[in-house]
Amino acid sequence: MRKVFQAELHQVGEELIQIATLVQQALGSARTAFLDADIQVAEEVISNDARIDFLQNDLDERSIDILALQSPVASDLRMIVGALRMSASLERMGDLARHLAQLARLRFPEPVLPESMRGHFEQMFDIDLKLIARVITALEDRDISETDEIFALKSELNVKHQQVFEMLADPSWNSSVPTAVDVTLASRYLERIGDHGVSVARKVSYLVTGDWAPATDSRPTGHGHIGTDAGE
């Protein structure tokens, strides 16, 4: 019976890693769709999000069954409860990648961004991709040393997000209002992906140590929630 239980726990952990890997792939593809106005890649990201949703639902059902049938305690209980919460964060990261692809589809064949902002958003995407890679390593190895690096990457992302507002407020900004809205939403989506990555990292720390990693995220103030989807 114990072997079956441990196999079920292992499967939960493997499914978390699978979801995180799909999110990483989705964001990498969303980067291409968004920056290069690639409609085919955008459609693939949008369509493939259903796979992430399916796996999250499967993991949640599996975890609830374990809670009901096995009554786990201590570290095993932390694993199951943590998995339920991490799967939700990972699924939202996938949703945000989908939103970025949807922006690309909405503006096709034109690019979402003015050329002057392309380099800035390349950097934001790259920070998020590094952060997700660290999250996957933390999940695979239960390595809480990744947490500090994930927090540092999130701080970089906060600065980049703040700089977007400064660009929009600069007198030299001469693009349209719809472009300003798109830019604001895209920056917010990328910033929120980082938030959810930090949330997963903190839960990995909790699984390993039984204590929550301190919340060191220093979000810029003055530019709060942008639209309904941006708050995911």
Please state whether 227 falls in left (phi above 0), alpha (psi between -120 and 50) or beta.
Answer: left
Rounded to the nearest integer, the mean pLDDT of the chain is 90
Amino acid at position 111, single letter: P
- Give Cα separations from 217 to 124, 180, 182, 213 (angstroms): 16, 26, 25, 11
Q: What is the per-residue pLDDT for 219? A: 47
Tally the domains of the chain: 1
Q: Which domain holds residue 220?
A: 2-231
Which pLDDT band, with edges at 50, 70 and 90, does 3 fall under?
Answer: confident
Give the per-residue pLDDT at 221: 40
**Please, how many CA atoms are within 13 Å of residue 15, restricted to the half-sphere of its CB?**
27
The per-residue DSSP string of 134-187 comes to: HHHHHHHHT-TTHHHHHHHHHHHHHHHHHHHHHHHHSTT--S-HHHHHHHHHHH
How confident is the model over 62-75, as a mean pLDDT?
A: 85
State pLDDT tens for residues 104-130: 999 999 999 999 999 999 999 999 999
Give CA–CA dist 189/182, Å, rounded.
Answer: 10
Q: What is the C-alpha separation between 224 and 232, in angstroms, rounded? A: 13
CATH of the domain at 197: 1.20.58.220
User: CA-based angle 75:93:198, to the nearest 5?
Assistant: 50
Q: What is the pLDDT of residues 17-63, one digit of tens each?
A: 999 999 999 999 999 999 999 999 999 999 999 999 999 999 999 99
Give residue 231's pLDDT: 54
Tell me how far CA of residue 16 lies from CA of 35, 43, 106, 191, in angstroms: 28, 24, 31, 22
Distance CA 94, CA 158 (A): 20
What are the tokens at 148? Answer: 């500090």
